[in-house]
């Protein structure tokens, strides 16, 4: 089995060199971390679920004209994506107060925000991904004003799309994080959605019961994390009812298909 060259290992994914220039293979691990790696666990089957959920979402975004890095899914844990230069920002869109905004501003979790709020965090694990202002982004040249405008416009379109998509299956999109990458084509550069969009990077609450269906189950030691992710996948129609996400045993990962 020809092993590919590893480019980068993150907390939940590994990136390998892709088969053609400009491509990368994104491998979804079962690792879950929180609070900047202070908490770590292996959640069997999580990688398989996030691979499928992120594929589904990226394809949906492409359909409404939002460019993403996604090319195709290769197997249970891997997808082929475009190589991009990652903008070192986490762009968070919030519809309802939860998590860090509740703490920072003294809001009660579940409070509907007056409007969708976009925040930028600087991607730096050593610093714990600090919240930053546009001033920092332009001063340190992490992105230029045009790119900030583009990212904000894209983030709001993604929010509209995801809110509708999840709303249709009885899930409230509380907030989510998205990352962007620069793709160069000759002299042209465009920003495209990169990384993943999955229950690891969104807050998802059951619209009826308020049950948490995202990584907060792990952050708050609530248990049944992959069960909740599987339910998200099931409602989106991503998993066939009989399909096993690998939660009951090791998943066979092959290099050339499922
Ligand atoms: P926060 O309330 O902790 O700032 O998180 C806001 C959203 O961003 C939430 O949906 C979880 C997501 N998120 C990530 O995807 N990665 C991170 O490192 C953090 C802190 C949050
Ligand atoms: N992803 C971050 C970490 O691994 C934080 C989080 O999602 O809560 O530490």
Q: Is 33 in the pocket of ligand 2 (CB under 6 A)?
A: yes
pLDDT tens digits, 173-232: 999 999 999 999 889 999 999 999 999 999 999 999 999 999 999 999 999 999 999 999
pLDDT at residue 240, as a whole number: 75
pLDDT in tens, 70-89: 999 999 999 999 999 999 99
Substitution candidate for ligand 2 out of 12, 36, 100, 200 with most atoms within 8 A of CB: 36
Closest C-alpha residue for ligand 2 atom 5: 34
- pLDDT tens per residue across span 140-161: 999 999 999 999 999 999 999 9
- The enclosing domain of 32 has a CATH number of 3.30.200.20
Q: List helix spans (H) across 106-169.
A: 134-139, 145-167
Q: What distances in angstroms separate CA 256 from CA 3, 45, 52, 75, 79, one per listed residue?
A: 12, 19, 17, 7, 11
Q: How many residues belong to the chain?
A: 258
Ligand 1 atom closest to the Cα of residue 174 is 10
Q: What is the pTM assigned to this prediction?
A: 0.93
122 and 103 assigned to the same domain:
yes
Ligand 1 nearest atom to the CA of residue 99, by list position = 2
pLDDT (0 to 100) of residue 257: 41
Query: What 3-state class would DSSP assign to 191?
Result: strand
- Our answer on whether the CB atom of 245 is closer than 6 Å to any ligand 1 atom is no
Residue 251 placed within a domain:
no
Share of the chain above pLDDT 90, in %: 88
Over residues 122-131, the mean pLDDT reads 96
- Per the structure, the count of domains in the chain is 2
Q: Which pair of structure tokens corresponds to residue 85?
A: 């230069």
68, 172: one domain? no
Which domain does 79 fall in, by range?
6-84+225-236
């Amino acid at each position: 089995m020809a092993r590919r060259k590893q480019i980068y290992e993150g907390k939940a994914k590994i990136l390998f060199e892709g088969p053609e220039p400009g491509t990368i293979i994104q491998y979804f691990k079962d690792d879950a971390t929180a609070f900047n790696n202070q908490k770590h666990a292996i959640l069997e089957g999580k990688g398989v679920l996030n691979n499928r959920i992120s594929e589904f979402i990226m394809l949906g975004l492409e359909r409404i004209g939002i460019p993403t890095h996604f090319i195709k899914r290769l197997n249970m844990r891997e997808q082929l994506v475009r190589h991009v230069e990652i903008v070192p920002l986490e762009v968070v869109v919030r519809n309802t107060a939860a998590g860090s905004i509740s703490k920072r501003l003294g809001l009660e979790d579940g409070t509907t925000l007056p409007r969708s709020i976009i925040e930028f965090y600087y991607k730096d694990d050593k610093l714990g991904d600090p919240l930053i202002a546009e001033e920092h982004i332009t001063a340190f040249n992490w992105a230029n004003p045009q790119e900030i405008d583009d990212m904000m416009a894209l983030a709001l379109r993604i929010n509209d799309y995801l809110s509708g998509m999840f709303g249709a299956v009885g899930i409230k999109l509380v907030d989510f994080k998205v990352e962007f990458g620069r793709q160069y084509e000759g002299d042209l550069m465009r920003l495209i959605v990169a990384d993943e969009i999955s229950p690891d990077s969104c807050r998802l609450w059951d619209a009826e019961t308020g049950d948490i269906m995202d990584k907060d189950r792990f952050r708050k030691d609530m248990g049944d994390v992959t069960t909740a992710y599987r339910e998200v996948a099931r409602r989106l129609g991503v998993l066939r009812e009989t399909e096993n996400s690998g939660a009951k045993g090791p998943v066979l990962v092959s290099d050339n298909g499922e």
